[in-house]
Structure 1
Amino acid sequence: MLRKQFILLLSVFITAVVLTQGCSKTDDTYRNSVPTNKVDLNIYDYLVSKKETFETLVYIVDQAQLADTLRKTKITFFAPTNQSILTALENLNVNRSTTGLPPLKMAEVPPFIWRAMLMRYIIPGEFTSENFALADGLDVITLNKRKLHVNAQAIATQGSMGSGSLLLKYSDLNGSRFTKDWVFSYVTSSNLQAKNGIIHTLEPSHVFGFRAFVQYAGTLQNLYSDRYYISSGRIILPTATRDWLELGKELIAINETTVQTDAADLKANGYFIRLTVNPVNNLVTVSPAPSSVNQTLKNNGDCHYDPINQEFVLNYKYTTTADRFISERIKLRNY
């Protein structure tokens, strides 16, 4: 009888150990498993399947000709909802009404605008919440080479602070190094694994384009246009040279491949140039803007666009009483 009781107790003990080890392993697996949800669809098709949340988003994705990117490219997509986009359009039309302009319908917004705004939400590669769980978060480079920032904060669970799921905060740096100036949105659901990447859905209260949509929607945008460029360079004059450093410049889109800005440090003189990028080889043609006081501005050596560093490397010249030679670098101030 005693022997049977001993065997029974031993069996209970072994079972308890196994169950304890099993629970521990399950807990570890749960904490480290990302993403928690998977769909057998690419990102684009998943958005199409959720019309109540993403129907308007799908429409502007099509307008921006980014559908194939969302179908085939390995990306992380911080997906704005229908409400985000409709709110942005409403804000635009309120702004237009104050200047006496008629409202714009969604179909009347230029596709370049949708494309420029949408690329702020697309990050090459796959990033789940855990990738952002660093002390200071993680800087990310978007599809159009803009730097944004993602923080992951652990949400408290019952009886344990900071041990729950991760809440993501997606921030546009708004041209500033200081976090107080950043524009951000929280993620309401994260880590959805599609066939070609990860989807994080932004809160409906997020206004599409952060603060930029109303400003940019009234003007054309392309891959190179932005308010936040810094220029440095040198002008070689007949009897002297003149240098300048970190001169702020805005590059304004003229069409899909051309931007306009002031020439060298000569904005006060009314000198303006257009930079046309050959998308095949990134070579740049310098020409005078129609409004430029001087119409002799043209290439004088290597002129190209560096997509990795988001920088125009330019050598050009203009003529007054004699030739003036300019070497200039115009780099995106990516913060």
Structure 2
Amino acid sequence: MMMKSIKYICPFNVCLLVLLFVMYMASSCNKPGGDYNYVNTENTYSGTGYEYIAGKTGVYDSLVKAINRIPWLKDSLSSEATSLTLFAPSNASFRLIMSTLNIARTSAGKSLLYINDFDVPNLDSIISRYVIRGKISTSSIQFVDGLDLTSILNNYPMHGQRSFSEATGFQAGGPTNIIFSDTKKSPFIRDWIRTQTNVVNIVTKNGVVHSLQPEHELGFGEFISRFNK
């Protein structure tokens, strides 16, 4: 009987195949959006929180204009002696709420309003809720139930909770974000108004900046009632 010859496999080729496989797996686990261990990393900005948003032309122009009308808040965000966390609403959030406000005012025969027209006490009350005492990054929020936060004005109670996106094939394996809530001074979550970040952990000289998602309703449900008078 003629025996079939056995094909010889070079050990070097086997090692090469194993190495290529390991390299492929390693590269897959480093791709944002499709990996199991990807998290938003901290970025460092050389200036203050105010300087950071002021330098983001086309992103935070409306927020900067609002803060400029509140001198003490601008000074706090500009001071390197402070330690603050800013949950920054973008221009998109301002456009959304301003459009809704002015449609309501037009329907009622009232004049249009813009940021420079708002009374400062109400504007201060709303904008200051986005400025939190202390440096709060995603790593600061360790508890499942989140972390109680206090705003810079009158220690108004806010709340932060980590949120994990899903990566392909891995539950809660994608980027880490924060659910940011206005508690309305209520201990019950059902009473809270919540929103979420889309960029986190921008470390500045005097704190941290997180960017809120574009569809965030500025004022947590109070903007229209405060300014449509």
Shorter-chain TM band: 0.7 to 0.9
Question: Per-residue CA shift, 1:263-318, capped at 9, x if unaligned?
Answer: xxxxxxxxxxxxxxxxxxxxxxxxxxxxxxxxxxxxxxxxxxxxxxxxxxxxxxxx
The 3-state SS of whatever aligns with 1:51 is coil
In 2, are the aligned partners of 1:34 and 1:128 still within 8 Å (CA)?
Answer: no
The 3-state SS of whatever aligns with 2:144 is coil
Residues 90 and 121 of structure 1, relative CA distance in 2, 3 Å threshold: same
Query: Whose Rg is larger?
Result: 1
CA distance in 1, matches of 2:139, 2:40: 8
Between the two proteins, what is the percent identity of the paired residues?
Answer: 26
In 2, are the aligned partners of 1:132 and 1:138 still within 8 Å (CA)?
Answer: yes
TM-score, normalising length: structure 1: 0.53
Q: Which residue of 2 aligns with 1:62?
A: 68
In 2, are the aligned partners of 1:42 and 1:70 still within 8 Å (CA)?
Answer: yes
* Amino acid corresponding to residue 69 of structure 1 in structure 2: S
Q: Which residue of 2 aligns with 1:205?
A: 215
Q: Which aligned pairs between 1:1-335 and structure 2 lie closer than 5 A?
A: 36-65=42-71, 66-72=73-79, 73-144=82-153, 145-218=155-228
CA distance in 2, matches of 1:147, 1:35: 27
In 2, are the aligned partners of 1:88 and 1:208 still within 8 Å (CA)?
Answer: yes
Question: Per-residue CA shift, 1:195-245, capped at 9, x if unaligned?
Answer: 1110000011112111011112257xxxxxxxxxxxxxxxxxxxxxxxxxx
Which range moved further: 48-57 or 150-159? 150-159
Alpha-carbon RMSD across the aligned residues, in angstroms, is 2.8
Q: Which residue of 1 aligns with 2:6?
A: none
* Amino acid corresponding to residue 83 of structure 2 in structure 1: K
In 1, are the aligned partners of 2:42 and 2:201 still within 8 Å (CA)?
Answer: yes
Question: Per-residue CA shift, 1:118-172, capped at 9, x if unaligned?
Answer: 1100011101012224211111111121111111122233443223331211111
CA distance in 2, matches of 1:120, 1:92: 20
In 2, are the aligned partners of 1:42 and 1:194 still within 8 Å (CA)?
Answer: yes
Q: Structure 2: give runs of 5+ residues left out of the alignment.
A: 1-18, 20-25, 31-36
* Structure with greater proportional strand content: 1
CA distance in 1, matches of 2:124, 2:143: 30
CA deviation after TM superposition for structure 1 residue 175, in Å? 4.6
* Structure with greater proportional helix content: 2
CA deviation after TM superposition for structure 1 residue 35, in Å? 5.3
CA distance in 2, matches of 1:204, 1:155: 17
In 2, are the aligned partners of 1:35 and 1:193 still within 8 Å (CA)?
Answer: no
TM-score, normalising length: structure 2: 0.76
CA distance in 2, matches of 1:156, 1:103: 42
Give the number of equivalent residue pairs.
196
CA distance in 1, matches of 2:59, 2:175: 23
In 1, are the aligned partners of 2:40 and 2:175 still within 8 Å (CA)?
Answer: no
Which range moved further: 155-164 or 193-202? 155-164
The 3-state SS of whatever aligns with 1:200 is strand
* Amino acid corresponding to residue 116 of structure 1 in structure 2: S
Question: Per-residue CA shift, 1:1-59, capped at 9, x if unaligned?
Answer: xxxxxxxxxxxxxxx9xxxxxx9xxx9xxx8x985211111111111111110111111
CA deviation after TM superposition for structure 1 residue 101, in Å? 1.9
